[in-house]
Structure 1
């Protein structure tokens, strides 16, 4: 389990295609603290560390992951938001994040607001579980954020300077695709309600 509080960023230094899979070699100062078989969240996607060497490590994304997330658009030089699993004795500073991306969204507008930034996103889905709640939590590229101006297929988030500089939000442009993971509690509630309505 993750919390959506980004520890660091990593840079893609090599991409190796093998069948429908892609192996990503990533440089990060976290690499020296990682172990093989450890789970790390990459732009909100939970991937298993398969190799560690110095300041680099390797993870593999299968075809389903590449199709459901923005990992398939990565190139050498891309920056990733990184978070290791939450330790049992750690503080819960964000919200419950599984590292299972639901779908991608498109950035439609970026507005600077005297030192902070507003980002607008839209997405396409007919799944009632994939909705945001006004002032509720959503994970964008692994970052736990509070959304507002929520509609059926769009929402807005505000990014403070620290988050802007210490994640890959400062690289986002209008039209870019981001990974979304909706609040797991909201998804469970939606499923329970839909089943009650069905009966």
Structure 2
């Protein structure tokens, strides 16, 4: 589990690829302080496992499922990547609950400056994600915890403060570039529970006890 507060920008030293399987080699400094083999690291919002560690770098495997559903396959040597270690239980929870399980890829449609902020307009490749994208709700782009400021039928917008731009790779992205999208996990759980019975997955054929009417009757909707 992560918070979406990027700790540092690492640098791609290189990668090896065989089909849709990859091994990423990433240089870093801050996260290397206590990183151990087997630890989880968010790389541009994707939860990966450190499989080998050197003094100033680590390696992580990318499986075919991750290759197909994220933009890690587009990385090249020298590219910067957002890095965050898994959260610990004794610190402040400054972002939101981020799993590092990417839901899809989005394309930056437009970048505009609004006084001290920069607004990014994103077009998701999979329009099904819009059911989890709500104004003032949380969303993760390349591992960065952000707030949705507006949504329409085809795009959504996030507004980014100067500190976040300086500390993350979002500052290097332009219209046409891609970002990894992870929607708020709470919304995904609610959606699953509401639709569980309708997919024929209920144990022993019993209908789901949760519905829109149930939530309304009990003050949740």
| Fold shared by both chains (TM-score > 0.5) | yes
Question: What is the CA–CA distance in structure 2 between the aligned matches of 1:12 and 1:128, rounded to whole Å?
Answer: 29
SS in 2 for 1:149: strand
CA shift digits 1:47-95 (9 cap, x unpaired): 0001111111111101110110010000001111111011011211111
Instruction: Please tell me whether residue 160 in structure 1 is matched to residue 147 in structure 2.
Output: no
Instruction: Give ranges in structure 2 of 5+ residues lacking alignment.
Output: 200-206, 208-221
- Equivalent residue for 1:9? 9
- Equivalent residue for 1:176? 177
SS in 2 for 1:77: coil
- Check the 8 A contact 2:20/2:68 in 1, yes or no: no
- Check the 8 A contact 2:107/2:125 in 1, yes or no: no
Residues 84-123 of structure 1 mapped to structure 2, 5 A cutoff? 84-123=85-124
CA shift digits 1:130-188 (9 cap, x unpaired): 53011000000000100021134421001100000100011101011100000011111
SS in 1 for 2:164: helix
- Equivalent residue for 1:58? 59
Instruction: Please tell me whether residue 81 in structure 1 is matched to residue 82 in structure 2.
Output: yes
Instruction: Please tell me whether residue 67 in structure 1 is matched to residue 68 in structure 2.
Output: yes
- Equivalent residue for 2:43? 42
Q: Which has the higher helix share?
A: 2
Root-mean-square deviation (CA, aligned residues, Å) is 1.7
Question: What is the CA–CA distance in structure 1 between the aligned matches of 2:63 and 2:158, rounded to whole Å?
Answer: 30
- Check the 8 A contact 1:129/1:190 in 2, yes or no: no
Question: What is the CA–CA distance in structure 2 between the aligned matches of 1:24 and 1:152, rounded to whole Å?
Answer: 36
**Which is further off, 6-15 or 123-132?**
123-132
Q: How many Å apart are 1:31 and its aligned residue?
A: 2.5
Aligned residues: 199
Question: What is the CA–CA distance in structure 2 between the aligned matches of 1:128 and 1:196, rounded to whole Å?
Answer: 21
- Check the 8 A contact 1:128/1:190 in 2, yes or no: no
Question: What is the CA–CA distance in structure 2 between the aligned matches of 1:99 and 1:114, rounded to whole Å?
Answer: 31
Q: How many Å apart are 1:23 and its aligned residue?
A: 0.8
SS in 2 for 1:193: helix
Looking at both structures, which has the greater relative contact order when contacts are Cα pairs under 8 Å and sequence separation is at least 6? Answer: 1
SS in 2 for 1:96: coil
Question: What is the CA–CA distance in structure 2 between the aligned matches of 1:37 and 1:138, rounded to whole Å?
Answer: 27
Question: What is the CA–CA distance in structure 2 between the aligned matches of 1:55 and 1:104, rounded to whole Å?
Answer: 29
Q: How many Å apart are 1:123 and its aligned residue?
A: 1.0
